């Protein structure tokens, strides 16, 4: 009750702030979704009108989290409204409260840090979403830069001199889009991408598969998953430690834990390459091998820890041509239709597969966060 009263008061304070911003001609939508944080590197902004007191994309902070979803922008719902993201849809599908703890830009280390903070909500079931698209690379950066003792416990000082993953392709594509947009203000966003695709711009790879049309960024996706790169290999080692820590928390605090692997849009196309019309097939084939290896490593890590693991790849590959991602876009985030499909997958396959038996709490005289 106290938490609900505090949340209501906080929402009233925020509402007053929004009205004040509107009176000054500033739209509440201008409020950033995330803010800098020395522990998390970034966290959700509690001042955003779609966020709760903790900066998460929920209407309020519950007194107890029946089901908690931890992840990055794939769980947050970057390309959809708050009522269209798949955790919200899952709540509608199941009729049970779902707490969305997804934040844009997070990786596996932030998932462990967030889980420590969310223990105060006494979660009963937790699904951690690992996105192969960038979570492993983000893990390396967070473990290196975070001020958290927990994050540092995943870090090996010998990694300090390792170079970061090569994001040249990503930066080049973004600059190309910005430059052409400035030069040709008469062109719309879809026309900009079409022109760059015709020019052969790297990571603006036009793709048509079934009813879907989009532009793939497979070189960037390959760079942040290539285990031959020392920082990515280290990121995988960090993620394995994170999964072990999460497993220990579930045993000590008595909540059920499952891991869901979310593949990239590029990988889904690569698994059906014979059916797709793409400009650059070779780089997409390379990404297919790289991401398949990463998915296999993550599944093996979960198996070693006896964690239930659910790989969305086999499910979503059947729908990748069915307009489940934004069309004529470089964005690899699911749209409203894609979120609806993911919600159904979690409802029908993930939740029944979680161990609903509450573990006996191991701590004597109470339970406490490890950090």
Rg (CA), the chain: 21
| Res 14: pLDDT | 41
Residue 237 confidence (pLDDT) above 70: yes
pTM here is 0.88
Contacts of 94 (CB under 8 A, 6+ apart): 67, 347, 351
Q: Give the pLDDT mean for 164-191.
A: 94
Contacts of 50 (CB under 8 A, 6+ apart): 57, 82
| Ramachandran region, residue 336 (left: φ > 0; alpha: ψ -120 to 50; beta: rest) | alpha
pLDDT band per the 50, 70, 90 thresholds, residue 355: low
Q: Which domains does the chain have, with CATH numbers?
A: 62-162+218-353 (3.40.50.1110)
| Res 18: pLDDT | 40
CA distances from 75 to 106, 128, 160, 180 (A): 11, 10, 30, 31
The predicted-structure confidence for 19-29, as pLDDT tens digits, reads as follows 333 333 334 56
């Amino acid at each position: 009750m106290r938490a609900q009263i505090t949340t209501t008061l906080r929402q009233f304070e925020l509402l007053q702030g929004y009205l004040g911003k509107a009176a000054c001609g500033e739209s509440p939508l201008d409020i950033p979704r995330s803010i800098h944080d020395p522990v998390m590197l970034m966290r959700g902004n509690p001042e955003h009108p779609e966020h709760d007191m903790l900066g998460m994309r929920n209407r309020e902070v519950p007194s107890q989290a029946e089901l908690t979803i931890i992840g990055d922008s794939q769980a947050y719902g970057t390309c959809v409204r708050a009522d269209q993201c798949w955790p919200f849809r899952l709540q509608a599908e199941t009729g049970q409260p779902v707490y969305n703890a997804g934040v844009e830009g997070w990786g596996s280390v932030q998932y462990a840090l967030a889980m420590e903070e969310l223990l105060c909500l006494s979660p009963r079931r937790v699904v951690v979403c690992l996105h192969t698209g960038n979570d492993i690379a983000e893990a390396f950066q967070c473990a290196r830069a975070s001020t958290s003792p927990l994050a540092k416990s995943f870090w090996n000082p010998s990694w300090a001199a390792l170079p970061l993953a090569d994001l040249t392709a990503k930066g080049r594509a973004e600059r190309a889009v910005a430059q052409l947009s400035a030069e040709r203000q008469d062109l719309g966003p879809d026309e900009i991408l079409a022109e760059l695709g015709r020019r052969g711009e790297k990571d603006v790879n036009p793709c048509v598969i079934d009813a879907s049309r989009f532009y793939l960024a497979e070189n960037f996706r390959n760079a942040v998953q290539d285990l031959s790169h020392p920082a990515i290999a280290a990121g995988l080692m960090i993620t394995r430690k994170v999964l072990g820590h999460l497993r220990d928390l579930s045993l000590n605090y008595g909540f059920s834990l499952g891991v869901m692997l979310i593949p990239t849009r590029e990988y889904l196309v690569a698994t059906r390459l014979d059916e797709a019309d793409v400009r650059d097939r070779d780089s997409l084939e390379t990404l297919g091998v790289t991401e398949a290896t990463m998915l296999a490593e993550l599944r093996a890590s979960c198996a070693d820890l006896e964690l239930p693991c659910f790989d969305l790849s086999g499910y979503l590959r059947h729908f990748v041509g069915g307009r489940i991602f934004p069309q004529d876009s470089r964005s690899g985030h699911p749209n409203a239709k894609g979120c609806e499909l993911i919600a159904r997958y979690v409802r029908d396959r993930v939740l029944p597969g979680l161990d609903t038996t509450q573990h006996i709490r191991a701590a004597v005289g109470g339970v406490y966060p490890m950090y």
